[in-house]
Amino acid sequence: MFALVDGNNFYVSCERVFRPNLQHTPVVVLSNNDGCAIARSNEAKALDIKMGAPWFQIQHLSESHGLVALSANFALYGDMSDRMMSIAAGLGPTQEIYSIDESFIGLDGVRGNLARRARIIRSRILQWTGLPCGIGIGATKTLAKLANYIAKTAERKPGSYPQEYAQVCDLSSISLEERQYLLGLTEIGEVWGVGRRYAAQLKEYGMHTALDLSRMDPAVVRSRWSVVLERTVRELQGTACIQIEDIAPDKKEIACTRSFGHPVTQRSDLQEAISEFTSRACEKLRRQNSHANQVLCFIRTSPFRKEKQYSRSICIRLPRPCADTKIITQSAIQGLNLIYKSGYKYAKAGVMLIDLQPADTTQLNLDIGLTDDLCAEDRTPESRVDQSRLMQTMDAVNLRYGKSTLLLASAGLGGVNRSWSMKQERRTPQYTTRWQDIPIARA
């Protein structure tokens, strides 16, 4: 048995904890550079603002309907998420943190009335953090997801589902007929694992609801679509195919990419951007104690604009597997110089670390002499330890005083002016919180 705990309109709800006057107001949170809406309050959804809608297309609603737009503050959302997750963990013995606002809870061995238990956890999260959430319960992860969708939709759109399922919905404790009734009310595209493409193809095939999908023959689904969709069908039928991942596996690739606040043309600006992206990616790499074998670097113009388009990426093999910002940045910049062409207005760039391996594997290979081609300053064990300590110190300083406190002066550049970064002042200033600053117990 599984539960899914999912924060409502998560980023907006986080902001509202600190600005209670935004309750009952249409609010959106905007992506980097205030580009598009990545979270919407219920009131904003009621204005038919779509996920990912560009700000310039919905801006007029601030005049006509009092829409409030906020710049995203991911540090804050991360802190709030940690609090919500730690309370949600009380629902059952195992927890998988699936995204910043969602976690699956394994309920095996939990006795008693699950829905009642879930309601208690839900009100505790609301009271202790100020964050509203929905909880769905089902025999499989896919059914728990579906139950969560019903719980949230029943609350947001009265009349869509029976009111008793609002906020908490337990699909496991109701009759087969009732469960089929609820699945029949649910669009096929709302099922976890059915995206836009599959939804369109399935509708063409005559399947329109979650109930229709649950009644399909898994073998037919497999041969006509894929093993992935077959698994979804089995999960809807109540056979658990996807288990809780208690311990998060290491990432297989780590990326840092950004759209620019304004078009970038100069090679030097791209070099600054790439070197900062590489630093961020390397921090993540060290945090999971991995080394990279290759770094991929890409630059591209905006596909939305009617201009000469250019988009290229290049993959550079590192001199040895490592997590050293200096070495990896050198390779990334080298890659950039190979693909850069002047005369284009660049809109986006990024860095991906790929072909990752555990750091201790590298150490083993160094010890038994399997790795050659060392960089000059990298030849002795002592110098490697020094480099590694330098990285640890940088990470510690940046964690303590905020990212970008300590940066590499990349590729012979002078000061970092981040001319590629911001279009203008953000709509709302950034502020950070510490655990203890978060207000507690709002009713």
Partner DNA sequence: TCTGGGGTCCTAGGACCC
> Which residues contact DNA by CB under 7 A?
31-33, 35-36, 38, 51-52, 54-56, 98-99, 101-102, 145, 191-199, 226-228, 251-259, 262-263, 277, 284, 302, 304-305, 347-348, 350, 352, 423
Q: How far is the CB of 196 from DNA (least distance, A)?
A: 5
Residue type, 427: R
* Least CB distance to DNA at residue 276 (A): 11
C-alpha distances in Å from residue 66, one per residue of 29, 38, 40, 43, 62? 14, 18, 14, 10, 5
Burial of 302 (0-12, 13-18, 19+ CB in 10 A): middle
Identify which of residues 32 and 378 has a Cβ nearer to DNA in the complex. 32
Nearer to DNA among residue 261 and residue 384 (C-beta): 261
SS3 breakdown of the chain: % helix, strand, coil, rounded to 5?
A: 45, 20, 35
Q: Of 288 and 388, which CB lies nearer to DNA in the complex structure? A: 288
How far, in Å, are 54, 265, 267, 309, 310 from residue 306 at the CA level?
17, 16, 22, 8, 12
Phi, psi dihedral angles at 294 (to 5 degrees): -140, 150
- The alpha-helical segments, DSSP class H, found in 295-426 are 325-339, 359-367, 381-401
CB of 100 to DNA, least distance (A): 7
Tell the smallest beta-carbon distance from residue 226 to DNA (Å).
5
Closer by beta carbon to DNA, 127 or else 357: 357
Coil, strand, or helix at residue 319?
Answer: strand
| Rounded least distance, CB 381 to DNA, Å | 28
Contact yes or no for 141/4 (Cβ under 8 A)? yes
Q: Which is nearer to DNA, 98 or 205 (CB)?
A: 98
Q: What tokens does 220 get?
A: 């037919």
Please report how close the Cβ of residue 417 comes to DNA at its closest, in angstroms.
18
Residue (304 or 435) nearer to DNA, CB:
304
Q: At what angle do helices 325-339 and 381-401 cross, to 10 degrees?
A: 80
Closer CB to DNA, 33 or 172, in the complex: 33
Least distance to DNA from the beta carbon of 400, Å? 21
When the beta carbons of 101 and 378 are compared against DNA, the nearer one is 101
Side-chain-facing half-sphere of 352: CA atoms under 13 Å: 11
Give the neighbor-by-neighbor strand order of the sheet with 168-170.
94-99, 102-106, 2-7, 133-138, 168-170
Least distance between DNA and beta carbon 259 (Å): 4
Closest approach, Cβ 124 to DNA, in A, equals: 21
- Which is closer to DNA, CB of 208 or CB of 251? 251
Distance between CA atoms of residues 213 and 197, nearest Å = 15
